A and B are shown apart, each in its own frame.
Chain A
Protein backbone atom coordinates (compact mmCIF):
# COMPACT_ATOMS: atom_id res chain seq x y z
CA UNK A 1 0.00 0.00 0.00
CA UNK A 2 1.38 3.35 -1.02
CA UNK A 3 2.03 5.66 1.87
CA UNK A 4 0.97 9.28 2.11
CA UNK A 5 3.75 11.73 1.27
CA UNK A 6 4.27 14.71 3.55
CA UNK A 7 6.50 17.64 2.61
CA UNK A 8 8.32 18.75 5.73
CA UNK A 9 10.34 21.83 6.45
CA UNK A 10 9.57 23.25 9.88
CA UNK A 11 9.77 27.02 9.56
CA UNK A 12 9.82 29.99 11.91
CA UNK A 13 6.14 29.80 12.99
CA UNK A 14 6.48 26.07 13.61
CA UNK A 15 9.47 26.72 15.85
CA UNK A 16 7.63 29.57 17.61
CA UNK A 17 4.78 27.21 18.52
CA UNK A 18 7.28 24.59 19.66
CA UNK A 19 9.02 27.13 21.87
CA UNK A 20 5.78 28.43 23.34
CA UNK A 21 4.28 25.07 24.32
CA UNK A 22 7.59 23.69 25.58
CA UNK A 23 8.23 26.88 27.52
CA UNK A 24 4.84 26.67 29.20
CA UNK A 25 5.25 22.95 29.76
CA UNK A 26 2.01 21.91 28.10
CA UNK A 27 1.65 18.86 25.90
CA UNK A 28 0.15 18.83 22.43
CA UNK A 29 -1.51 15.88 20.74
CA UNK A 30 0.13 17.13 17.55
CA UNK A 31 3.45 15.86 18.87
CA UNK A 32 2.34 12.97 21.05
CA UNK A 33 0.32 11.30 18.30
CA UNK A 34 2.84 12.11 15.54
CA UNK A 35 0.08 14.00 13.77
CA UNK A 36 0.74 14.22 10.03
CA UNK A 37 -0.78 17.71 9.95
CA UNK A 38 1.61 19.26 12.44
CA UNK A 39 3.47 21.15 9.74
CA UNK A 40 0.30 22.71 8.37
CA UNK A 41 -1.22 23.55 11.78
CA UNK A 42 1.89 24.77 13.58
CA UNK A 43 2.98 26.56 10.43
CA UNK A 44 -0.24 28.56 10.62
CA UNK A 45 0.21 29.20 14.34
CA UNK A 46 -2.29 26.79 15.84
CA UNK A 47 -2.01 23.61 17.92
CA UNK A 48 -4.20 21.16 19.82
CA UNK A 49 -3.44 21.07 23.51
CA UNK A 50 -3.43 17.82 25.44
CA UNK A 51 -4.04 18.27 29.14
CA UNK A 52 -3.46 16.09 32.21
CA UNK A 53 -0.04 14.94 31.07
CA UNK A 54 1.31 12.97 28.15
CA UNK A 55 0.77 9.48 29.55
CA UNK A 56 -2.60 7.81 29.05
CA UNK A 57 -4.02 5.18 31.39
CA UNK A 58 -5.38 3.34 28.36
CA UNK A 59 -3.59 1.59 25.55
CA UNK A 60 -5.62 1.76 22.36
CA UNK A 61 -3.96 -0.13 19.54
CA UNK A 62 -4.17 2.63 16.96
CA UNK A 63 -2.79 5.42 19.11
CA UNK A 64 0.82 6.57 19.57
CA UNK A 65 0.26 8.48 22.81
CA UNK A 66 2.32 6.88 25.58
CA UNK A 67 0.49 4.51 27.89
CA UNK A 68 1.29 3.82 31.52
CA UNK A 69 1.23 5.41 34.93
CA UNK A 70 0.42 9.08 34.43
CA UNK A 71 1.96 12.10 36.14
CA UNK A 72 0.18 13.98 38.93
CA UNK A 73 -2.07 16.77 37.66
CA UNK A 74 -0.45 20.18 37.33
CA UNK A 75 -2.74 22.66 39.11
CA UNK A 76 -1.17 25.44 37.04
CA UNK A 77 -2.05 23.79 33.76
CA UNK A 78 -5.43 25.48 33.18
CA UNK A 79 -3.76 28.89 33.34
CA UNK A 80 -0.86 27.74 31.15
CA UNK A 81 -3.27 26.60 28.44
CA UNK A 82 -5.21 29.85 28.75
CA UNK A 83 -1.96 31.79 28.34
CA UNK A 84 -0.95 29.74 25.31
CA UNK A 85 -4.30 30.47 23.64
CA UNK A 86 -3.81 34.17 24.35
CA UNK A 87 -0.22 34.31 23.12
CA UNK A 88 -1.11 32.42 19.96
CA UNK A 89 -4.11 34.70 19.42
CA UNK A 90 -6.49 31.79 18.82
CA UNK A 91 -10.21 32.42 18.42
CA UNK A 92 -10.97 28.68 18.29
CA UNK A 93 -9.15 26.12 20.36
CA UNK A 94 -9.38 22.36 20.70
CA UNK A 95 -8.41 20.93 24.05
CA UNK A 96 -8.04 17.20 24.37
CA UNK A 97 -6.62 15.01 27.09
CA UNK A 98 -5.24 11.65 27.93
CA UNK A 99 -7.56 9.24 29.74
CA UNK A 100 -7.17 9.45 33.49
CA UNK A 101 -8.88 6.36 34.85
CA UNK A 102 -6.69 6.75 37.93
CA UNK A 103 -8.56 9.87 39.07
CA UNK A 104 -11.91 9.61 40.85
CA UNK A 105 -13.59 11.98 38.40
CA UNK A 106 -11.49 10.89 35.40
CA UNK A 107 -10.02 14.38 35.36
CA UNK A 108 -13.35 16.09 34.62
CA UNK A 109 -12.80 18.78 37.25
CA UNK A 110 -9.39 19.68 35.84
CA UNK A 111 -10.84 19.67 32.34
CA UNK A 112 -13.63 22.02 33.37
CA UNK A 113 -11.16 24.31 35.14
CA UNK A 114 -9.07 24.47 31.97
CA UNK A 115 -12.08 25.40 29.83
CA UNK A 116 -13.05 28.10 32.33
CA UNK A 117 -9.52 29.52 32.51
CA UNK A 118 -9.27 29.64 28.72
CA UNK A 119 -12.58 31.45 28.46
CA UNK A 120 -11.77 33.85 31.31
CA UNK A 121 -8.51 34.96 29.76
CA UNK A 122 -9.73 34.89 26.16
CA UNK A 123 -13.24 36.37 25.99
CA UNK A 124 -15.12 35.23 22.92
CA UNK A 125 -12.90 32.22 22.23
CA UNK A 126 -14.70 29.12 21.02
CA UNK A 127 -13.68 25.98 22.89
CA UNK A 128 -13.88 22.46 21.57
CA UNK A 129 -13.31 19.77 24.19
CA UNK A 130 -12.29 16.42 22.76
CA UNK A 131 -13.02 14.32 25.82
CA UNK A 132 -12.45 10.78 27.04
CA UNK A 133 -15.44 8.65 28.05
CA UNK A 134 -14.96 9.22 31.81
CA UNK A 135 -16.03 5.56 32.06
CA UNK A 136 -19.52 6.77 31.26
CA UNK A 137 -19.85 8.82 34.45
CA UNK A 138 -22.76 11.25 34.13
CA UNK A 139 -21.36 13.31 36.95
CA UNK A 140 -18.05 13.81 35.17
CA UNK A 141 -19.79 14.62 31.92
CA UNK A 142 -21.96 17.18 33.67
CA UNK A 143 -18.87 18.81 35.14
CA UNK A 144 -17.41 19.33 31.65
CA UNK A 145 -20.72 20.32 30.05
CA UNK A 146 -21.29 22.97 32.73
CA UNK A 147 -17.91 24.56 31.99
CA UNK A 148 -19.52 25.75 28.78
CA UNK A 149 -17.52 24.49 25.80
CA UNK A 150 -19.25 25.23 22.52
CA UNK A 151 -18.28 21.83 21.09
CA UNK A 152 -17.82 18.48 22.77
CA UNK A 153 -16.15 15.81 20.72
CA UNK A 154 -15.78 12.19 21.68
CA UNK A 155 -14.50 9.66 19.20
CA UNK A 156 -15.93 6.24 18.54
CA UNK A 157 -12.76 5.73 16.47
CA UNK A 158 -13.95 2.62 14.61
CA UNK A 159 -16.95 0.45 13.82
CA UNK A 160 -18.74 -1.66 16.40
CA UNK A 161 -17.14 -5.01 15.45
CA UNK A 162 -13.57 -3.74 15.59
CA UNK A 163 -13.91 -1.76 18.80
CA UNK A 164 -12.68 -4.53 21.14
CA UNK A 165 -9.69 -5.20 18.85
CA UNK A 166 -8.71 -1.59 18.34
CA UNK A 167 -9.60 0.30 21.49
CA UNK A 168 -8.61 -0.32 25.08
CA UNK A 169 -10.78 -2.88 26.86
CA UNK A 170 -12.21 -0.15 29.09
CA UNK A 171 -13.60 1.69 26.07
CA UNK A 172 -16.81 0.60 24.38
CA UNK A 173 -18.80 1.40 21.29
CA UNK A 174 -22.06 1.68 23.20
CA UNK A 175 -20.41 3.60 26.00
CA UNK A 176 -19.06 6.17 23.55
CA UNK A 177 -22.46 6.57 21.91
CA UNK A 178 -23.95 7.03 25.36
CA UNK A 179 -21.40 9.76 26.16
CA UNK A 180 -22.39 11.68 23.04
CA UNK A 181 -26.09 11.17 23.73
CA UNK A 182 -25.72 12.32 27.33
CA UNK A 183 -23.93 15.52 26.34
CA UNK A 184 -26.79 16.44 23.99
CA UNK A 185 -29.34 15.55 26.61
CA UNK A 186 -27.62 17.75 29.20
CA UNK A 187 -27.26 20.71 26.86
CA UNK A 188 -28.79 20.46 23.38
CA UNK A 189 -27.04 23.69 22.35
CA UNK A 190 -23.63 22.06 22.55
CA UNK A 191 -22.40 20.91 19.16
CA UNK A 192 -21.29 17.28 19.32
CA UNK A 193 -18.71 15.68 17.14
CA UNK A 194 -17.09 12.29 16.58
CA UNK A 195 -14.41 10.72 14.40
CA UNK A 196 -14.00 7.42 12.63
CA UNK A 197 -10.59 6.21 11.48
CA UNK A 198 -10.83 4.21 8.27
CA UNK A 199 -8.57 1.43 7.09
CA UNK A 200 -8.46 -0.83 10.13
CA UNK A 201 -10.43 -3.67 8.54
CA UNK A 202 -13.99 -2.35 8.54
CA UNK A 203 -16.54 -3.02 5.81
CA UNK A 204 -18.29 -0.12 4.15
CA UNK A 205 -21.69 -1.13 5.49
CA UNK A 206 -20.22 -1.06 8.98
CA UNK A 207 -19.03 2.50 8.47
CA UNK A 208 -22.54 3.47 7.38
CA UNK A 209 -23.94 1.70 10.44
CA UNK A 210 -21.56 3.69 12.65
CA UNK A 211 -22.65 6.91 10.98
CA UNK A 212 -26.31 6.03 11.56
CA UNK A 213 -25.54 5.22 15.20
CA UNK A 214 -23.84 8.61 15.63
CA UNK A 215 -26.74 10.43 14.02
CA UNK A 216 -29.06 8.39 16.23
CA UNK A 217 -27.57 10.08 19.29
CA UNK A 218 -27.69 13.51 17.66
CA UNK A 219 -24.05 13.97 16.66
CA UNK A 220 -23.67 17.13 14.55
CA UNK A 221 -20.16 16.89 13.08
CA UNK A 222 -18.50 13.80 11.66
CA UNK A 223 -14.81 13.42 10.86
CA UNK A 224 -13.69 10.60 8.59
CA UNK A 225 -9.99 10.02 8.23
CA UNK A 226 -7.43 7.49 7.12
CA UNK A 227 -5.81 5.35 9.80
CA UNK A 228 -2.03 5.56 9.55
CA UNK A 229 -0.26 2.95 11.64
CA UNK A 230 2.17 4.82 13.89
CA UNK A 231 4.55 1.90 14.46
CA UNK A 232 4.84 -1.79 13.61
CA UNK A 233 3.54 -2.74 17.06
CA UNK A 234 0.21 -1.00 16.42
CA UNK A 235 -2.96 -2.33 14.77
CA UNK A 236 -2.22 -3.23 11.13
CA UNK A 237 -3.21 -0.96 8.30
CA UNK A 238 -5.67 -2.93 6.17
CA UNK A 239 -6.74 -0.45 3.52
CA UNK A 240 -5.85 2.97 2.15
CA UNK A 241 -9.02 4.73 1.03
CA UNK A 242 -9.00 6.73 -2.18
CA UNK A 243 -10.12 10.35 -2.33
CA UNK A 244 -13.15 9.15 -4.27
CA UNK A 245 -14.07 6.72 -1.50
CA UNK A 246 -13.80 9.56 1.01
CA UNK A 247 -16.04 11.67 -1.19
CA UNK A 248 -18.63 8.90 -1.43
CA UNK A 249 -18.66 8.41 2.34
CA UNK A 250 -18.89 12.16 2.89
CA UNK A 251 -21.95 12.33 0.65
CA UNK A 252 -23.50 9.43 2.52
CA UNK A 253 -22.80 11.14 5.85
CA UNK A 254 -24.36 14.38 4.66
CA UNK A 255 -27.42 12.51 3.43
CA UNK A 256 -27.80 11.04 6.93
CA UNK A 257 -28.10 14.55 8.34
CA UNK A 258 -24.70 15.52 9.79
CA UNK A 259 -24.46 19.31 9.84
CA UNK A 260 -20.80 19.22 8.87
CA UNK A 261 -18.50 16.49 7.61
CA UNK A 262 -14.73 16.60 7.33
CA UNK A 263 -13.64 13.66 5.21
CA UNK A 264 -10.07 13.45 4.06
CA UNK A 265 -7.17 11.01 4.47
CA UNK A 266 -5.31 13.46 6.69
CA UNK A 267 -8.31 14.79 8.57
CA UNK A 268 -8.05 14.44 12.34
CA UNK A 269 -10.61 15.42 14.95
CA UNK A 270 -9.26 18.93 15.40
CA UNK A 271 -8.33 19.41 11.74
CA UNK A 272 -10.30 22.28 10.21
CA UNK A 273 -12.30 22.27 13.44
CA UNK A 274 -13.28 25.92 13.23
CA UNK A 275 -14.54 25.51 9.66
CA UNK A 276 -16.63 22.49 10.67
CA UNK A 277 -18.06 24.39 13.65
CA UNK A 278 -18.97 27.39 11.47
CA UNK A 279 -20.70 25.11 9.00
CA UNK A 280 -22.57 23.25 11.72
CA UNK A 281 -23.84 26.44 13.34
CA UNK A 282 -24.73 28.27 10.14
CA UNK A 283 -28.51 28.90 10.27
Chain B
Protein backbone atom coordinates (compact mmCIF):
# COMPACT_ATOMS: atom_id res chain seq x y z
CA UNK B 1 0.00 0.00 0.00
CA UNK B 2 1.29 3.47 -0.83
CA UNK B 3 0.19 6.85 0.40
CA UNK B 4 0.29 9.66 -2.13
CA UNK B 5 0.99 12.81 -0.20
CA UNK B 6 1.77 16.49 -0.66
CA UNK B 7 5.52 16.27 -1.29
CA UNK B 8 7.43 16.92 1.92
CA UNK B 9 10.74 17.16 0.09
CA UNK B 10 9.82 19.79 -2.50
CA UNK B 11 11.46 22.49 -0.38
CA UNK B 12 12.97 20.02 2.08
CA UNK B 13 14.21 22.31 4.83
CA UNK B 14 11.36 24.78 4.54
CA UNK B 15 8.43 22.82 5.88
CA UNK B 16 6.46 25.82 7.10
CA UNK B 17 4.38 26.50 3.99
CA UNK B 18 0.68 25.89 3.95
CA UNK B 19 -1.98 25.51 1.32
CA UNK B 20 -5.41 24.12 0.65
CA UNK B 21 -6.73 21.40 -1.58
CA UNK B 22 -8.31 22.77 -4.75
CA UNK B 23 -9.29 19.45 -6.29
CA UNK B 24 -8.72 15.72 -6.15
CA UNK B 25 -8.82 14.08 -9.55
CA UNK B 26 -9.37 10.51 -8.38
CA UNK B 27 -11.98 8.45 -6.57
CA UNK B 28 -11.81 4.99 -5.03
CA UNK B 29 -11.39 2.29 -7.66
CA UNK B 30 -9.76 4.60 -10.23
CA UNK B 31 -6.54 3.53 -11.86
CA UNK B 32 -3.62 5.90 -11.49
CA UNK B 33 -0.45 6.04 -13.56
CA UNK B 34 2.96 7.05 -12.28
CA UNK B 35 3.38 10.76 -12.97
CA UNK B 36 -0.34 11.35 -13.45
CA UNK B 37 -1.73 14.51 -11.80
CA UNK B 38 -3.94 13.46 -8.90
CA UNK B 39 -4.56 16.63 -6.92
CA UNK B 40 -4.13 20.39 -6.96
CA UNK B 41 -3.00 22.31 -3.92
CA UNK B 42 -3.11 26.08 -3.82
CA UNK B 43 -0.33 27.82 -1.94
CA UNK B 44 0.19 31.57 -1.87
CA UNK B 45 2.76 31.49 -4.68
CA UNK B 46 1.21 28.99 -7.07
CA UNK B 47 -1.00 26.01 -7.64
CA UNK B 48 0.92 22.79 -7.09
CA UNK B 49 -0.20 20.01 -9.39
CA UNK B 50 0.65 16.87 -7.43
CA UNK B 51 1.70 13.88 -9.52
CA UNK B 52 1.45 10.33 -8.31
CA UNK B 53 4.83 8.73 -7.60
CA UNK B 54 3.29 5.25 -8.10
CA UNK B 55 1.00 3.40 -10.50
CA UNK B 56 -1.88 1.45 -9.04
CA UNK B 57 -5.49 1.55 -7.98
CA UNK B 58 -6.91 4.18 -5.64
CA UNK B 59 -8.17 2.55 -2.46
CA UNK B 60 -9.18 5.62 -0.54
CA UNK B 61 -9.25 9.39 -0.94
CA UNK B 62 -7.80 10.97 2.17
CA UNK B 63 -8.44 14.67 1.55
CA UNK B 64 -11.20 16.90 0.22
CA UNK B 65 -11.32 20.24 -1.61
CA UNK B 66 -10.90 23.07 0.85
CA UNK B 67 -8.87 21.06 3.35
CA UNK B 68 -5.87 22.92 4.73
CA UNK B 69 -2.68 20.98 3.98
CA UNK B 70 1.07 21.25 4.31
CA UNK B 71 4.09 19.17 3.35
CA UNK B 72 3.44 15.47 3.92
CA UNK B 73 -0.36 15.72 4.07
CA UNK B 74 -1.90 12.43 2.83
CA UNK B 75 -4.01 12.60 -0.32
CA UNK B 76 -4.67 9.08 -1.55
CA UNK B 77 -4.14 5.50 -0.47
CA UNK B 78 -3.07 3.53 -3.51
CA UNK B 79 -2.62 -0.17 -4.03
CA UNK B 80 0.43 -0.25 -6.29
CA UNK B 81 0.46 -2.32 -9.47
CA UNK B 82 1.58 -5.81 -8.60
CA UNK B 83 -0.10 -5.96 -5.22
CA UNK B 84 -2.91 -8.41 -4.84
CA UNK B 85 -5.56 -6.84 -7.05
CA UNK B 86 -8.22 -9.32 -5.97
CA UNK B 87 -7.70 -8.40 -2.35
CA UNK B 88 -7.98 -4.77 -3.25
CA UNK B 89 -11.19 -5.26 -5.22
CA UNK B 90 -12.68 -7.31 -2.41
CA UNK B 91 -12.01 -4.51 0.02
CA UNK B 92 -13.77 -2.01 -2.24
CA UNK B 93 -16.81 -4.27 -2.64
CA UNK B 94 -17.14 -4.69 1.12
Contacts and interface: CB of A to CB of B under 8 A. Distances in A.
B81 interface: no
Contacts, number: 71
A39 B12 CA distance: 11
Nearest to B11: A31
Contact of A7 (B9, B17, B49): B49
Contacts of A234: 44
A36 B43 CA distance: 11
B50 interface: yes
B68 interface: no
Interface residues of B, number: 22
A241 to B, nearest CB: 15
B7 A8 contact: yes
A38 interface: yes
B45 A22 contact: no
Contacts of B44: 228-232, 234
Interface in A7-28: 7-10, 14-15, 18, 22, 27
A64 to B, nearest CB: 8
A38 B10 contact: yes
Contact of A34 (B14, B35, B37): B14
A18 B14 contact: no
Place the interface of chain A in its size category: 20 to 34
B13 A22 contact: yes
B70 to A, nearest CB: 13
A230 to B, nearest CB: 6
Interface in A24-44: 27, 30-32, 34-36, 38-39
Given A9-B35, A34-B45, A230-B45, A15 B50 contact: no
Contacts of B48: 5-6, 8
A9 B40 CA distance: 12
B9 A6 contact: no
A231 B17 CA distance: 8
Given A230-B44, A231-B44, A6 B49 contact: yes
A9 B46 contact: no
A4 B12 contact: no
Interface in B27-73: 35, 37, 40, 42, 44-53
B54 to A, nearest CB: 11
A3 B17 CA distance: 16
Given A6-B46, A7-B49, A228-B46, 8 more contacts: A8-B10, A9-B7, A9-B35, A9-B52, A32-B13, A39-B10, A64-B14, A230-B45
Interface of B: 7, 9-14, 17, 35, 37, 40, 42, 44-53
14 contacts: A3-B47, A5-B40, A6-B46, A6-B47, A6-B49, A9-B51, A10-B10, A14-B9, A31-B12, A31-B14, A34-B11, A34-B45, A39-B10, A231-B17
